[in-house]
Structure 1
């Protein structure tokens, strides 16, 4: 028997430049759906927190580093970074206006309101590749939490981000010795090679155990000094 609890409730549905995005509630969880495919929900956040922490650890004590996050999602990465006083600044680039709205004055604000009130934090509404190609700002770390990672993209337009050309463009906003951390829903040895071909060094992968199936991972790489 299906109960109301089992049926997701659509809270908002938008048609954006990259297709349809939906925010829905399923029981106690909030979920983001893109073009009919599940992207993420508010169930855990462990991998997003590890993404941010791994980048900070790899910076090896750099004073007040500045962080760029690609993808706002449900806000776990932003909230976790803003809660750590060691970060000097936190900038999030998100291309979907709907997702930004859900955080600023919608259901996801419960997760991100404190972070957005922090003077170190800001959201930039833009496509990440356009942003890194046009900005004059540089950062100590770039955390990518876009789509399902390099090996399993819902939006084919995101494939270019994880290519040699896209990663080379990402490298231009990193300071010497800066860290790139990339979240992925599954391990990708091929992506490690792509990082190396894009000029990154010290490429490695950290696994994040999950309850079932293959682990999530964070790919880490350093821009040469």
Structure 2
């Protein structure tokens, strides 16, 4: 029988949030999973696209740095720790609305927690990322000034959000508000569970000077084939 250890369980406004660890006989290693209610949100078995979110986003941030970076959505922290691999990153602020998720890392329950907490460039901020983006630059204490890059990994896709209140970001008006929090030449990168969607690409193109949609393929040991996610990269005019 497969061993499953429930590491943390917390009721939230969006449903019951569970962090669990299980041994995967196919991958032959422990796998960490997050569920919201009966829905799987993320798994350490599939991290390639989250890591590519950081790499592709920061590759588009031209220049030697130093870079000020915001990650929207902490989760298992693979986006955040991959961003820390870039030596140009001077500060990394990770914004998450769920104190339980921040607590998992502060208790060092995840394989990425030590790397994240022990790097003096990183800080964890409890706040609603979407509310921060609605605020004027410098108005919200979670983001006191514009930054060089914003990397977002919260919703399944722009068309399939975890909460209805998130949907206004993925519009021309929402992307315009977000762009105000970027310095000239700054980069917004967005993870999606699906390859880039024409509607989202069109909305981004109305706001940003350059927009690229990337399809990220990665091996899926559960199916024996490959799976795909999407990463949008949008650059503000200099």
With structure 2 as the length reference, what TM-score do the two structures score?
0.85
Aligned equivalent of 1:81: 83
Residue-by-residue CA offset, 1:41-82 (whole Å, 9 max, x unaligned): 111321111111111111122421111110001010111112
Preserved contact between residue 58 and residue 83 of structure 2 (Cα < 8 Å) = no
Distance of 1:161 and 1:102 partners within structure 2: 27
Aligned equivalent of 1:219: 232
Distance of 2:97 and 2:14 partners within structure 1: 9
SS across alignment from 1:88: strand
Q: Which moved more, 1:147-156 or 1:80-89?
A: 147-156
Deviation at 1:131, TM superposition (A): 2.1
Aligned equivalent of 1:93: 95
Aligned equivalent of 2:12: 16
Aligned pair count reads: 219
Preserved contact between residue 148 and residue 154 of structure 1 (Cα < 8 Å) = yes
Distance of 1:176 and 1:158 partners within structure 2: 25
Given the alignment of the two structures, is residue 131 of structure 1 paired with residue 102 of structure 2, yes or no? no
SS across alignment from 2:89: coil
Preserved contact between residue 18 and residue 36 of structure 2 (Cα < 8 Å) = yes
Matches within 5 A, 1:28-43: 28-43=30-45
Distance of 1:23 and 1:29 partners within structure 2: 11
Distance of 2:64 and 2:119 partners within structure 1: 21
Q: Which moved more, 1:139-148 or 1:20-29?
A: 20-29
Deviation at 1:179, TM superposition (A): 0.6
Preserved contact between residue 186 and residue 214 of structure 1 (Cα < 8 Å) = no
Residue-by-residue CA offset, 1:1-55 (whole Å, 9 max, x unaligned): xx133xx432221112333211112221111112321110111321111111111
SS across alignment from 2:167: helix
Given the alignment of the two structures, is residue 47 of structure 1 paired with residue 60 of structure 2, yes or no? no
Distance of 1:64 and 1:144 partners within structure 2: 20
Greater strand percent: which structure?
2
Preserved contact between residue 39 and residue 147 of structure 1 (Cα < 8 Å) = no
Distance of 2:156 and 2:76 partners within structure 1: 14
Deviation at 1:214, TM superposition (A): 5.5
Deviation at 1:156, TM superposition (A): 3.0
Deviation at 1:152, TM superposition (A): 2.6
Distance of 1:161 and 1:15 partners within structure 2: 25
Greater helix percent: which structure?
1
With structure 1 as the length reference, what TM-score do the two structures score?
0.90
Q: Tell me, which stretches of 5 or more residues in structure 1 are unaligned?
A: none
